[in-house]
Chains A and B, each alone.
Chain A
Amino acid sequence: MTLRYDQVSYSYPGTSTGVFDIALEIGRGELLAIIGASGSGKSTILKLLAGFLKPDTGPILIGGKDVGASLPEARRLGVVFQNYALFPHMRLWENIAYPLKVRGIAKQERRARAIEMLGRVGMGKRAEDYPAELSGGQQQRVALARALVFEPQGLLLDEPLSALDAGLRLEMRDEILRVQRQAGIATLLVTHDQEEALSIADKVVMMRDGRIVQIGTPRELYETPADASVAAFVGQSNLWSGSVSRDGIVTTPIGPLACDTQGRSIGTKVTVFVRPERVEPITGPVDASNPCCFAGSMSADRYLGPVRRIDMAVAGGAIRLETHLRGPITGVTIPHDAIRLLPATS
């Protein structure tokens, strides 16, 4: 089943906040992640699909059928909530069997199916336990099992990993992906964690102020962000405002940079964008006559294990780089193919 938003808008009653002109499609087996700062509307998109909110305009289609007016219970979507929302008074198998119970499936069969589903998330031995006896990660697995046991038309994950600690988060990330792939189900993941989104999503949607800023593969978002806000949200970045001074040269506060100006006319204002790992460190003497070389001193040196993230103070500003060199650094080179020009921020 595919899930589709066709120019959907919704604003919260009495306010001008909401989501506007949302056009998205999630194919069968595809995992689409929505990222954005809090208040960007990403949860609203999930609530519209789940049926907790009704869109003002535009149809929401599940398998080609408009569900905009139908109640959450009629939509057959599995939802995993941020705090899992496992029913505290029901045993684990009863929790998972609940969607089968409300569909009138006999007790014997629903118990068997619930236990089988628990096994698929590695919790087969805990069927008789209550949710309060589980750790966060285990509750997460049960919530996932419950959301999938009734063979829903889509899977909705609302910040599913935000309540877990860092180590467990990586493990559960893989687990969610594994179960999702196995079920082959269209999945919408809402998260504020861009790393989580990049690592498991097939497609990522970046939201800002209720609008989609960019849709693309994780690689597209990381390497060719649509504007400075995407570049700043997804990963680390150097962003300088500048203007085209002649073909192939952009003037910035840190000095002129050679790059492909892609035919922009002279005087065009741009945002210059460079990923820190593309900045090359210099350990010896710096050739200041080269327009892409900058001498400077380290103003911050963060040891992150595999890499160091360094801020170089240079004339006119700072350049952030990431390197696995361990020694002192005297300057940096910004290769011209590492530079991307984004629209100027107003």
Chain B
Amino acid sequence: MPFVAIAYLIFLAAPVLLLFVGSFGDVWSGTLLPSGFTWRWYQEVAGDPSFRRAFITSLKIVATTCILNILIGLPLAYAIHAGARGGVRLAARIVTLMPIAVPELVLAFGFILVFSSDALPWLGSFWLLAAGHLVLTLPYTVTALVADMDQLGLAEYEHAAATLGASFPARIWDVTLPQLHTSLLSCMLTVAALSIGEFQLSNLVSGFLSRTYPVVLLQAFYGATGFACAATLVLLGLAMIASLTSGLTARVTGRRKVGAGA
């Protein structure tokens, strides 16, 4: 068993390691490993206007997607948690899970059909791309938040706050949101990680000036290998920062819960 596990880990890590090595290699053609050391490829990626624009666009899309997830996902999750029982809850769950079940390509073609019409000519706009990312990430937010809300037993805290004289807005602000903030944070980091790496939908829906980093990255592979490696590692770094932070938040939250239980 350990052998299988180690072999699998090597299989997983090897491409990433090769990319890493390649991104610093001066010359790489026909050999297994590159030769020489250089920072040149990273400088070239940093200096390339289309990569720079894509990087900025990706950050903007991530931020917008996160904000929209909070603005829409939080009330939606709360409504499902507080109001729905039985059938309604199931229906809400199916609706929120739909984008995960439907292949992204199908979703993207749907967007192209609808938003290239004369009535809704928004294909290629920043906001349509953000809306696409929202549709893809919202299910994760809603599912995680509803589960956390149920697990926290928010209903009883809210009942208690009500009997103590707190109005609905006061209850939400003083009792509900503070208890959800770690949960929200970890949702946002998951959303950020998903949004940074998203390719299929972005590739089809984004306009020439609103392409995200992964979409532009594809172009890199038509050029120098070192450049492609460096550009890929930039994306990898971004995604890893998001998922590491997300993991850390989960651990800190978990530790606090364990501490609270002791």
- Say whether A associates with B: yes
- A residues with a Cβ closer than 8 A to B are 50-52, 71-73, 75-79, 81, 83, 85, 87-89, 98-99, 101-103, 130, 132, 146-147, 150, 156
Are B164 and A71 in contact (CB-based, < 8 A)? no
Are A85 and B165 in contact (CB-based, < 8 A)? no
| Interfacial residues of chain B within 140-167, with CB under 8 A of chain A in the complex | 153, 156-157, 159-167
Q: Which of B156, B162, B178, B259 contacts A83 (CB 8 A)?
A: B156
Residues of B within 8 A of A76 (CB): 165
A101 to B175 alpha-carbon distance, docked (Å): 13
Q: Which of A85, A88, A102 contacts B167 (CB 8 A)?
A: A102
Are A102 and B259 in contact (CB-based, < 8 A)? no
A101 to B164 alpha-carbon distance, docked (Å): 10
Are A98 and B260 in contact (CB-based, < 8 A)? no
A277 to B97 alpha-carbon distance, docked (Å): 64
From A71, A83, A87, A146, residue with most partner B Cβ within 10 Å? A87
A85 to B157 alpha-carbon distance, docked (Å): 5
Are A88 and B260 in contact (CB-based, < 8 A)? yes
Residues of A within 8 A of B49 (CB): none
Q: Which of B157, B163, B170, B259 contacts A87 (CB 8 A)?
A: B157
Residues of B within 8 A of A89 (CB): 178-179
Are A71 and B161 in contact (CB-based, < 8 A)? no
* 8 A-B contacts (beta carbon < 8 Å): A79-B160, A81-B160, A83-B156, A85-B156, A87-B157, A87-B175, A102-B164, A102-B170
Residues of B within 8 A of A132 (CB): 259-261
Are A98 and B163 in contact (CB-based, < 8 A)? no
Determine if B174 is an interface residue (Cβ-Cβ < 8 Å): yes
CB distance from A70 to the nearest CB of B (A): 11
Are A73 and B160 in contact (CB-based, < 8 A)? no
Residues of A within 8 A of B160 (CB): 79, 81, 85, 87
Are A98 and B159 in contact (CB-based, < 8 A)? no
Are A98 and B157 in contact (CB-based, < 8 A)? no
A146 to B163 alpha-carbon distance, docked (Å): 11
Tally of chain B residues near chain A (CB < 8 A): 20
Are B163 and A50 in contact (CB-based, < 8 A)? yes
From A75, A85, A103, A130, residue with most partner B Cβ within 10 Å? A85
| Additional A-B contact list (12), CB under 8 Å, known A79-B163, A98-B174, A150-B164 | A50-B163, A51-B162, A52-B159, A72-B159, A72-B162, A85-B159, A87-B160, A99-B164, A102-B174, A130-B260, A132-B261, A150-B165
Residues of A within 8 A of B179 (CB): 87-89
Residues of B within 8 A of A130 (CB): 260
CB distance from B151 to the nearest CB of A (A): 13
A88 to B161 alpha-carbon distance, docked (Å): 13
Q: Which of B166, B175, B178, B259 contacts A73 (CB 8 A)?
A: B166
Residues of A within 8 A of B162 (CB): 51, 71-73
CB distance from A149 to the nearest CB of B (A): 9
Residues of B within 8 A of A150 (CB): 164-165
Residues of B within 8 A of A101 (CB): 174
Q: Which of B156, B161, B167, B259 contacts A98 (CB 8 A)?
A: B161
Residues of B within 8 A of A102 (CB): 164-167, 170, 174
- Give me the 4 closest cross-chain CB pairs, A-B, nearest first: A132-B260, A85-B160, A99-B164, A72-B162
Are B165 and A81 in contact (CB-based, < 8 A)? no
Chain B residue with the shortest CB-CB distance to A71: B162
Are B167 and A81 in contact (CB-based, < 8 A)? no
A130 to B179 alpha-carbon distance, docked (Å): 14
Residues of A within 8 A of B153 (CB): 83
CB distance from B61 to the nearest CB of A (A): 33
Are B163 and A72 in contact (CB-based, < 8 A)? yes
Residues of A within 8 A of B167 (CB): 73, 102
A85-B157, A88-B260, A132-B259 as given contacts; A77 in contact with B178, CB under 8 Å = no
CB distance from B243 to the nearest CB of A (A): 27
CB distance from A74 to the nearest CB of B (A): 8
CB 8 Å contact bits of B222-262 with A (1 = contact, 0 = none): 00000000000000000000000000000000000001110
Residues of A within 8 A of B174 (CB): 87, 98, 101-102
Residues of A within 8 A of B259 (CB): 132
Chain B residue with the shortest CB-CB distance to A156: B163
| Interfacial residues of chain B within 30-89, with CB under 8 A of chain A in the complex | none
CB distance from B47 to the nearest CB of A (A): 48
Are A75 and B163 in contact (CB-based, < 8 A)? yes
Residues of A within 8 A of B161 (CB): 87, 98
From B160, B162, B259, residue with most partner A Cβ within 10 Å? B160
A98 to B157 alpha-carbon distance, docked (Å): 12
A79 to B164 alpha-carbon distance, docked (Å): 8
CB distance from A86 to the nearest CB of B (A): 8
Are A81 and B164 in contact (CB-based, < 8 A)? no
Are B156 and A77 in contact (CB-based, < 8 A)? no
Chain A residue with the shortest CB-CB distance to B160: A85
